[in-house]
Amino acid sequence: MARKTRQPEAGTGTDTDTSSDGEAGAALGRKDYDRALADLHVELVHLQEWVKATGAKICIVFEGRDGAGKGGTIKALTERVSPRVFRVVALPAPTDREKSQMYMQRYIPHLPAAGEVVIFDRSWYNRAGVERVMGFAADEQVEIFLRAVPLMERAIVGSDILLLKYWLEVTPEEQTRRLKSRIEDGRKTWKLTDMDLKSYSRWFDYSRARDAMFAASDTDYAPWHVVRSDNKRRARLNIISHLLATVPYKRMARKEVTLPARQKAGKYKAPDYPYRYIPEKF
């Protein structure tokens, strides 16, 4: 039975101040953010070592509106851990062959094996969101998915995979600000796609799709965790903190490490070789 969760309201927000990074929400300075994130990174390394030692399997799903901050959150989550343990899955548009498969078939091979944390930057919930709103999936296909997804997620959890699902929510005003910055900031132009532009005008279509998705898939064994992400820095810290509080990891004993003595040069003599050093402009 679906667990009742307070739905995020479209177009509302409680924080009205502007933070130092230009986003709505109570200010959080760069130094305070970096300090808090560094502490969380240390704990993520402990989590990583526990996953490796115990063979734990963790699957994290990130969904949300365009511009909600999924990419930045995933970067903050993974920048200090091993990509061999924390694996990010961001699938491209399906091929013709994949379109002919059972819908979930292309996602199942990416689920974690023992000792892995798999992070889906968008996931099977594409069918309930963008595919539904943009008309890439028929209503019947969406309804079949919504009926099947709780069964699939029960099977995932029943296979000893810890499944965490995060929905990042922004207000219309903040989404507009972020998408405009993708037009104006040369570092972000690659982030703005034709699909983003087409999706932008369909705010309430996405709201209805989100509501139906939550009603079908917000279960006790695989609940949705909603994140207010108008302030990116706070959202990232809150998500990582929640992740660390949810996973029952323990700090693993670590042996003391001492650097060994470096060997002596002996008969080695550096050659007079014309190395091609790059220009030092900085």
Query: What are the pLDDT digits (tens) for 193-246?
Result: 888 888 889 999 999 999 999 999 999 999 999 999 999 999 999 999 999 999
- The residues that bridge with 57 in the sheet, in sequence order, are 116, 161
Task: Check if the beta carbon of residue 17 is closer than 8 Å to that of residue 24.
Answer: yes
Task: Say how far apart CA 238 and CA 28 lie, in whole Å.
Answer: 13
58 contacts 51 by C-beta, under 8 angstroms: yes
Residue type, 36: A
Structure token digits, residue 14: 């409680």
Distance (Å) of CA 13 to CA 8, 54, 131, 144, 282:
9, 41, 27, 34, 43
- Which residue bears the tokens 């990583």? 48
Higher-confidence residue of 21 and 271: namely 271
Q: Hey, what are 49's tokens?
A: 């070592």
Q: How far is CA 72 from CA 20, 24, 131, 151, in A?
A: 17, 16, 23, 31
| pLDDT, tens only, 181-191 | 999 989 988 88
pLDDT digits (tens, 9 = 90+) for 139-163: 999 999 999 999 999 999 999 999 9
**Mean pLDDT, all residues of the chain:** 91
Alpha-carbon distance values, 200 to 65, 134, 172 (Å) = 9, 11, 9
pLDDT above 70 (res 251): yes
